């Protein structure tokens, strides 16, 4: 009885904390209420499971978890399910608690919970809120000053999996680190691409490719390598890419992709191969739940990008595309999709949430911008560092302009009287948060 009372008091405290932070600050309030609730009631998340009628789905991985979880949630809603989801991407314990604390009501129940989880916090999340399903997108080098090397990140996820015996895994077979999570587990759903076709001209990437060794110590070899370590790999010891239950092929166009699974074709209007992987993960999950293919496509058609993840806006009459960049592999894939006829803003911060180490800029394929036809504006705390990187990438110096103020940089990019000129904004994480708070015409 006391636990129930404490839980409902937690909801009241959360709403008060949220109202206060919205009233007195410009914060988006994605974690503060959760932080307050967990201090008052450390076991708050344990009780939250009783508010979910069917299943809890978690999504983790270095890149794509916000988009993948958003797609899964939206497809479930399109199928007439009620879903609670940390839509804004706050994916540590405080962010997950924040979501539940602000969305739960005493007599309201949801069919599903779709939870995006930071890789390093998944293990702790499962201490309080075990999941029914886990989708893992990929593992790339990301914020080495915070998380260390990939083996460390993989160990976080592996520990979470090991403590949850009933967990059903959906794993990207094309990523050797992700596929390895399925070792010694039954019922794993593997998905991947058999073929990738670019239906527009894409320069060969100059980004460094990670070298991955098999568990036996020998380097993996590839018969097909799509990007980074994603592809069809094998080793002389017999280890190889696992057989996929869902084999897909994809045609990547400048502003959409066509995915073929068996005889069914799905279209996503999210750009780039990296988003095709996100779409594939969500489609496979929906198919496994038995959702009709027409409903899945309807969900893909009506999905609206979460801020900064292929987000489309109009700024001063100009069509604007905002794409988060935060590590070498993710940035390099985004850079393949940039409209070189647009005005380009690259906004880089080095705040704690971005990672203090910005050496990743030198491992990212900014050479893709060397043929940019218009303004290339660098902004943010590390605007000068970014300008130097573009100079060495071969971007003509007379096109590079440094404007540290992110708002002024975007306003400058939007000054053109010709409204047919598009804008591309490539921000790091805290730069993206700042853009989201700013008001533009």
**Spatial separation of the C-alpha atoms in residues 374 and 400, rounded to whole Å:** 9
Exposed / middle / buried, residue 222 (Cβ in 10 Å: 0-12, 13-18, 19+): middle
Token pair belonging to 159? 């520990």
Distance of CA 283 to the CA centre of its chain: 16
Token pair belonging to 126? 């499962």
Q: Give helix 406-413 / helix 429-437 axis angle, nearest 10°.
A: 70
SS (H, E, C) 332-398: HHHHCCCCCCCEEEEECCCCCCCCCCCCHHHHCCHHHHCCCCCCEEEECCCHHHHHHHHHHHCCCHH
Residue 309 CB-half CA count within 13 A: 21
Report how far apart, in Å, the C-alpha atoms of 37 and of each of 34, 43, 74, 89, 104 are: 5, 9, 27, 19, 13
DSSP 291: -
Closest CA to 121 of 80, 86, 77: 86
Report how far apart, in Å, the C-alpha atoms of 325 and of each of 153, 154, 383 are: 19, 21, 15
Structural contact between residues 309 and 436, judged by C-beta atoms closer than 8 angstroms: no
- At 146 the pLDDT is 47
Structural contact between residues 324 and 335, judged by C-beta atoms closer than 8 angstroms: no
Cβ within 8 Å of residue 400, ≥6 positions away: 376, 377, 378, 387, 390, 391
**Spatial separation of the C-alpha atoms in residues 191 and 313, rounded to whole Å:** 32
Cβ within 8 Å of residue 388, ≥6 positions away: none
Cβ within 8 Å of residue 62, ≥6 positions away: 119, 137, 138, 139, 140, 141, 142, 153, 327, 329, 330
**Spatial separation of the C-alpha atoms in residues 425 and 435, rounded to whole Å:** 10
**Spatial separation of the C-alpha atoms in residues 439 and 44, rounded to whole Å:** 36
Three-class SS state of 88: coil
Taking only the tens of pLDDT, the chain with its 441 residues reads 557 888 888 888 888 888 887 776 656 667 888 899 999 999 999 999 999 999 999 999 999 999 999 999 999 999 999 999 998 778 899 999 999 999 998 888 999 999 999 998 999 999 999 999 999 999 987 654 444 577 888 999 999 999 988 999 999 999 999 999 998 898 999 999 999 999 988 877 666 566 677 777 888 999 999 998 899 999 998 889 999 999 999 999 999 999 999 999 999 999 999 999 999 999 999 999 999 999 999 999 999 988 778 899 999 999 999 999 998 988 999 999 999 999 999 999 999 888 888 999 999 999 999 999 999 999 999 999 999 999 999 999 999 999 999 999 999 999 998 999 999 999 999 999 899 888 887
- At 26 the pLDDT is 59
Distance of CA 270 to the CA centre of its chain: 12
CB atoms within 10 A of CB 111: 16
């Amino acid at each position: 009885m006391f636990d129930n009372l404490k839980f409902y008091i937690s909801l009241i405290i959360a709403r008060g904390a949220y109202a206060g932070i919205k009233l007195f600050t410009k914060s988006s309030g994605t974690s503060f209420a959760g932080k307050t609730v967990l201090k008052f009631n450390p076991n708050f998340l344990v009780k939250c499971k009783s508010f979910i009628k069917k299943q809890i789905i978690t999504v983790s991985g270095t890149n794509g978890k916000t988009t993948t979880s958003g797609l899964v949630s939206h497809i479930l809603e399109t199928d007439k399910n009620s879903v609670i989801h940390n839509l804004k991407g706050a994916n540590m314990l405080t962010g997950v608690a924040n979501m539940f604390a602000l969305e739960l009501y005493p007599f309201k129940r949801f069919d599903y919970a779709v939870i995006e989880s930071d890789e390093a916090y998944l293990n702790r999340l499962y201490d309080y809120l075990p999941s029914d399903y886990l989708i893992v997108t990929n593992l790339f080098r990301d914020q080495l000053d915070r998380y260390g090397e990939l083996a460390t990140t993989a160990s976080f996820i592996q520990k979470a999996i090991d403590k949850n015996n009933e967990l059903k895994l959906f794993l990207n077979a094309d990523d050797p680190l992700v596929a390895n999570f399925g070792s010694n587990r039954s019922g794993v759903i593997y998905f991947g691409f058999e073929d990738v076709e670019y239906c527009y001209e894409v320069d060969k990437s100059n980004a460094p490719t990670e070298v991955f060794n098999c568990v036996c110590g020998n380097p993996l070899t590839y018969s097909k390598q799509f990007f980074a370590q994603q592809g069809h790999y094998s080793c002389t010891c017999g280890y190889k890419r696992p057989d996929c239950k869902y084999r897909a092929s994809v045609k990547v166009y400048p502003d959409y992709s066509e995915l073929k699974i068996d005889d069914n074709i799905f279209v996503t209007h999210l750009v780039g191969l990296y988003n095709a992987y996100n779409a594939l993960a969500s489609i496979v999950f929906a198919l496994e739940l038995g959702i009709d293919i027409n409903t899945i496509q309807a969900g893909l058609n009506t999905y609206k990008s979460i801020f900064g993840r292929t987000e489309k806006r109009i700024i001063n009459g100009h069509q604007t595309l905002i794409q988060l960049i935060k590590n070498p592999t993710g940035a390099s894939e985004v850079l393949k999709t940039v409209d070189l006829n647009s005005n380009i803003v690259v906004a880089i911060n080095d705040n704690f949430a971005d990672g203090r180490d910005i050496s990743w800029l030198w491992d990212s394929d900014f050479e893709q911008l060397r043929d940019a036809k218009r303004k290339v504006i660098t902004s943010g705390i590390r605007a000068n560092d970014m300008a130097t990187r573009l100079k060495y990438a071969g971007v003509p110096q007379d096109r590079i302009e440094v404007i540290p103020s992110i708002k002024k940089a975007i306003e400058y990019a939007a000054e053109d009287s010709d409204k047919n000129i598009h804008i591309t904004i490539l921000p790091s994480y805290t730069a993206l948060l700042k853009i989201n708070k700013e008001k533009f015409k």
